């Protein structure tokens, strides 16, 4: 393979034919494939980042019902968008989606551009997402490279270059660009993603069922399990956290706090924690003593309080951090709360609807 011609014409045509034929007969029925409007594809692609598709489906349908087009999304308060995203995780995606919708309305008359370069200028849209929107929604022959496609190409071409390096990424993008056909980019790019998800899986790939098995260099070389070449995953830092279901003395309502615009759980609502999210440093050491915690939380919230017994200990995995959470109850001596660092407070009773708040999966677990 030369840099100018990374895939010989006959091999390219054979791969295209094999994948397109397989996709036509075996692709999954997904809601955004039923009506691949640009906005629908965009929302689906953002939701599917680092999230299983079977998890995405219900959120996708509910999100489109609430925000059916970019104009509705742009005009909605950020809190409403985060509430609709609540439980899906990786909330920066929702904030970027909201920001990008405002740009689409103000600069593109409410319609997503079809040019991948213009798409990449929108918040939260990188080269892969731009290529997916352009190819799936508009039929533009733009390359894509997500984790599934990276694995498929690494095996088809038996690539021994580390896929996380600049050289490895360049090689993979060149192959993806060379393979995408001009007349069926939508189906072909979806076929590569689908193949990686269903057949060319990370572990125990179904090589005997692969429509491109005779074209796979890694299968011929016996190196399927060694591709792609990737560095060992970094161990997530652990963080010890106290989360307090803090109640009013007067009516048992729980105190909820809205986080600042930057940092962990930005703009989201949660129960009080120590340390607060902006002070979490990735240290898994023991929490301070009960007296120290009462003092520190009291100073943070601007009120005196009494901590009750431990309700539960749980672990919660974030992208680069593992939270070891001790959940306790507590009672405020006064309702006059003046928290430092948080942007708003709210007292939530038993009959209040939490779905109206943007709360994380972790907070959902704590409130249960």
Which residues belong to the active site? 45
Angle at the Cα of 212 from the Cα atoms of 209 and 217, rounded to 5 degrees: 115
Distance CA 186, CA 193 (A): 11
Cα 14 off chain centre by = 34
Q: Which residue has the tokens 């600069």?
A: 107
Q: What is the DSSP string of 61-117?
A: HHHHHHS-SHHHHHHS-HHHHHHHHTTS--THHHHHHHHHHHHHHHHSTTS--S-HH
Distance CA 50, CA 31 (A): 18
Q: Say if residue 73 is exposed, middle or buried (CB neighbours under 10 Å; 0-12, 13-18, 19+).
A: buried
Cα 85 off chain centre by = 11
Angle at the Cα of 66 from the Cα atoms of 40 and 55, rounded to 5 degrees: 60
Q: What is the DSSP string of 234-290?
A: PPPEEEEEEEEEEE-TTT-PEEEEEPPSSSTTTT-EE--EES-GGG--S---PPPPH
Q: At what angle do helices 78-85 and 92-107 cross, to 10 degrees?
A: 130
Dig out the tokens for 71 from the structure: 């104009």
Looking at the chain, how many residues does it have? Answer: 368
């Amino acid at each position: 393979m030369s840099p100018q011609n990374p895939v010989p014409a006959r091999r390219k045509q054979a791969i295209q034919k094999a994948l397109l034929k397989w996709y036509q007969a075996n692709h999954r029925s997904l809601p955004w494939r039923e009506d691949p409007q640009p906005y629908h594809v965009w929302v689906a692609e953002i939701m599917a980042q680092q999230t299983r598709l079977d998890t995405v489906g219900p959120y996708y349908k509910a999100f489109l019902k609430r925000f059916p087009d970019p104009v509705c999304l742009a005009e909605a308060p950020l809190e409403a968008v985060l509430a609709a995203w609540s439980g899906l995780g990786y909330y920066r995606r929702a904030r970027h989606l909201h920001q990008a919708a405002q740009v689409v309305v103000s600069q593109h008359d409410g319609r997503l551009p079809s040019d991948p370069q213009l798409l990449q200028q929108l918040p939260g849209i990188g080269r892969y997402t731009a290529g997916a929107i352009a190819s799936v929604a508009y039929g533009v022959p733009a390359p894509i490279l997500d984790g599934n496609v990276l694995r498929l190409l690494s095996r088809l071409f038996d690539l021994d270059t580390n896929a996380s390096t600049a050289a490895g990424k360049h090689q993979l993008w060149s192959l993806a660009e060379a393979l995408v056909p001009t007349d069926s980019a939508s189906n072909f790019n979806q076929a590569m993603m689908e193949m990686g998800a269903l057949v060319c899986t990370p572990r125990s790939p179904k090589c005997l069922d692969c429509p491109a098995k005779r074209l796979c260099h890694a299968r011929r070389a016996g190196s399927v399990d060694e591709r792609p070449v990737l560095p060992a995953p970094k161990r997530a830092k652990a963080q010890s956290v106290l989360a307090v279901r803090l109640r009013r003395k007067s009516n048992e309502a729980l105190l909820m706090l809205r986080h600042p615009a930057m940092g962990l759980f930005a703009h989201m609502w949660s129960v009080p924690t120590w340390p607060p999210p902006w002070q979490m440093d990735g240290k898994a050491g023991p929490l301070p003593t009960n007296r120290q915690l009462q003092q520190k939380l009291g100073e943070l919230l601007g009120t005196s309080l009494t901590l009750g017994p431990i309700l539960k200990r749980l672990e919660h995995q974030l992208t680069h951090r593992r939270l070891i959470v001790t959940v306790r109850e507590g009672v405020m001596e006064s309702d006059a709360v003046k928290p430092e660092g948080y942007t708003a407070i709210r007292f939530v009773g038993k009959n209040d609807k939490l779905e109206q708040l943007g709360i994380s999966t972790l907070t959902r677990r704590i409130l249960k």
